[in-house]
Structure 1
């Protein structure tokens, strides 16, 4: 709303109501309601103490005076009649009620007194902006915040601005007072994942760069490889299809699961089947020539949860489409909200691609699927009139067990290789004798052999013999004798 702040500084409001016993004598603008009762009028607030305000609107949907038809703005003087709740411009009440002393409601003709005129907005009254005159300020009324009261128990709550030296000193005192165990518990770092040959990423954890650029981080000088999620490691070894049979009261359905393409979705379905999650559940939705949906233990279409207890992401593949009859796909309530519900198509539904994850198909029991489709459904709720129930499930092929065995074998092999390399490195090679230079005397130049140095100087002295002249070779053409 565009109204100025009204003078009632006692309470807050919502809806088109005001408090009869408001000590300031003011009422709120539309869509406001007194939410709290201060101890202002020495009486408790109840429904009888509230007045519903009747605001009039023009054809454009704007609030206006029903008598003068002037649109209310930020500068309008607005009043209400307490007995009827009707809202008028002050000019209308002044000219038609106050001056002629005819105190009757301008719309209902119901009598009222001068005290029943409640001001909603008065732009000329500047005293309303004086915070010191507010009732809660005068009477020191405060709302008790439980979180703030709890924070006050800590002496650091009263420290507004502290420098680094003060913080370090207080930290030392805290350690002495509370003990290192409590401090370590509050500052405990998150547990690091164990990194091995299989789950080591090609990138680091970033701890070195983070500690280099931020003083809040613990200094790190060695790069450590980040750990890849365990499921990502396992899914690399899933190369086969999964096979499950649904035993229903209409017959059996044999399902082939694309574990090699949508590993997480298929694992969720297989694990739920193994824990008998779908046993006794019904297909709560069936639409002929479209789909049949089930997998909700509540049978309402709003329940169910994944094997991990929380929704998991979609796994869209371009080569998996809702094409043909018997496509197995996940039901969801939006992107990345897959849980336990699934559906089977009765015909092609290509427009569901990239909205629902296709993770399998029916490979046996199409006559059962036809029998399920022939069951009539309620046209309003799409619920089958005859119950279609999953009695039990059987898992024939679970590629994830084989993948887990391969991962365990690879880890054991890598551990043995690491231990062998460690044992080989511990073999100490024989020490070689370190040759030290010969000492000829004590003091500076003790390693220099002066006698040998003297002989080399004498050998390099000036020679008395004349050097033999070199024959100057002829540069002529010659007689080819040297060829």
Structure 2
């Protein structure tokens, strides 16, 4: 995915004017802050509604300011500040990390030693055949697993002589039988909202929303973000705009349809922090 402004939904490029709010850490396109904060003199974070001052607007990238591209003036470069990489620290626990500049003879000796004591176990683990998923008439694909050709061209693969149909993902099989719309009544302190869900076109998104409703996930939540004549956003149990999770506990992919677009009033869609990051907010 690509980073974009959470308000204007414009993708950030090398030519984008990007700013951040120091008090919240949220990042926006400068155009959004200029139009919705600076000009109307309403200094409230566009995501969390937290107040801030004009001095709290930090420029991250300004294509018109050439001094911003001078790396030697960066604070962390001037002060020699480095961020500790946890992956690198973990790699340092392996003694071989410090042997990057060894000569050929030493390298070959260590490799031979490694093979003698560990190599067989590791090779056996990699040669273990993966568990085969049960295939029936419902989830059988029209193409094979490719195991025969792979074993024929690579000696590292387990020999296979029988073509087997690949198994289609369970969700793909289930969703092809969804043909009807879904309906949800949302009770608010301003009245009820009757929602029609396009389950036949966006089944995964609708399943997530309906199952969250069934487990009372949205009970007592608030609309944490409201921009006049633009959008109202909710679905976050923490009420901060940064919380919430999907029914499956992890973000799920976008479901875009050319005939479904968020235009006009009364349209419900998922709210996320970028491509394929849908959770519970709407």
Note closer, same or farther for the CA distance 1:164–1:281 as it changes in structure 2 (3 Å cut): same
- Structure 2 unmatched runs, 5+: none
The CA distance in 1 between the partners of 2:220 and 2:35, in whole Å, is: 78
What's the CA shift string for 1:443-470, capped at 9, x where partnerless?
xxxxxxxxxxxxxxxxxxxxxxxxxxxx
What's the CA shift string for 1:212-255, capped at 9, x where partnerless?
11111111111111111110000011011111111222222111
What's the CA shift string for 1:352-384, capped at 9, x where partnerless?
xxxxxxxxxxxxxxxxxxxxxxxxxxxxxxxxx
Q: Could you tell which deviates more after superposition, 70-79 or 158-167?
A: 70-79
The CA distance in 1 between the partners of 2:227 and 2:30, in whole Å, is: 64
The CA distance in 2 between the partners of 1:283 and 1:107, in whole Å, is: 11
Partner SS state of residue 201, structure 1: strand
CA contact (8 A) 2:20 2:59 kept: yes
Deviation, structure 1 residue 266: 0.4
Note closer, same or farther for the CA distance 1:217–1:156 as it changes in structure 2 (3 Å cut): farther
Which runs of at least 4 in structure 1 moved beyond 6 Å after TM superposition? 61-183
What's the CA shift string for 1:317-356, capped at 9, x where partnerless?
1221223321111111222221111xxxxxxxxxxxxxxx
Q: Tell me which residue corresponds to 2:111.
A: 171
Note closer, same or farther for the CA distance 1:156–1:191 as it changes in structure 2 (3 Å cut): farther
Note closer, same or farther for the CA distance 1:183–1:286 as it changes in structure 2 (3 Å cut): same
CA contact (8 A) 1:175 1:183 kept: no
User: Which one scores higher on RCO, CA 8 angstroms, separation ≥ 6?
Assistant: 2
Note closer, same or farther for the CA distance 1:259–1:92 as it changes in structure 2 (3 Å cut): closer
TM-score by length of 2: 0.57
Q: Tell me which residue corresponds to 2:185.
A: 245
The alignment covers a number of residue pairs equal to 281
Note closer, same or farther for the CA distance 1:163–1:189 as it changes in structure 2 (3 Å cut): farther
Deviation, structure 1 residue 111: 52
The CA distance in 2 between the partners of 1:291 and 1:106, in whole Å, is: 11
The CA distance in 1 between the partners of 2:105 and 2:161, in whole Å, is: 26
Deviation, structure 1 residue 193: 1.5
Partner SS state of residue 79, structure 1: strand
Note closer, same or farther for the CA distance 1:219–1:168 as it changes in structure 2 (3 Å cut): farther
Q: Over aligned residue pairs, what C-alpha RMSD do you find?
A: 17.0
CA contact (8 A) 1:281 1:294 kept: yes
What's the CA shift string for 1:267-318, capped at 9, x where partnerless?
1111111122111211100122111100112211112221122222211112
Partner SS state of residue 93, structure 1: helix
Note closer, same or farther for the CA distance 1:268–1:97 as it changes in structure 2 (3 Å cut): closer
What's the CA shift string for 1:369-417, capped at 9, x where partnerless?
xxxxxxxxxxxxxxxxxxxxxxxxxxxxxxxxxxxxxxxxxxxxxxxxx
Partner SS state of residue 246, structure 2: coil
TM-score by length of 1: 0.35
The CA distance in 1 between the partners of 2:183 and 2:38, in whole Å, is: 88
Q: Does 1:200 align with 2:107?
A: no
CA contact (8 A) 2:4 2:274 kept: no
CA contact (8 A) 1:76 1:89 kept: yes
- Structure 1 unmatched runs, 5+: 1-60, 342-483
Q: Does 1:292 align with 2:254?
A: no
What does residue range 250-261 of structure 1 map to in structure 2 within 5 Å? 250-261=190-201
The CA distance in 1 between the partners of 2:137 and 2:219, in whole Å, is: 40
Partner SS state of residue 63, structure 1: coil
The CA distance in 2 between the partners of 1:139 and 1:312, in whole Å, is: 41
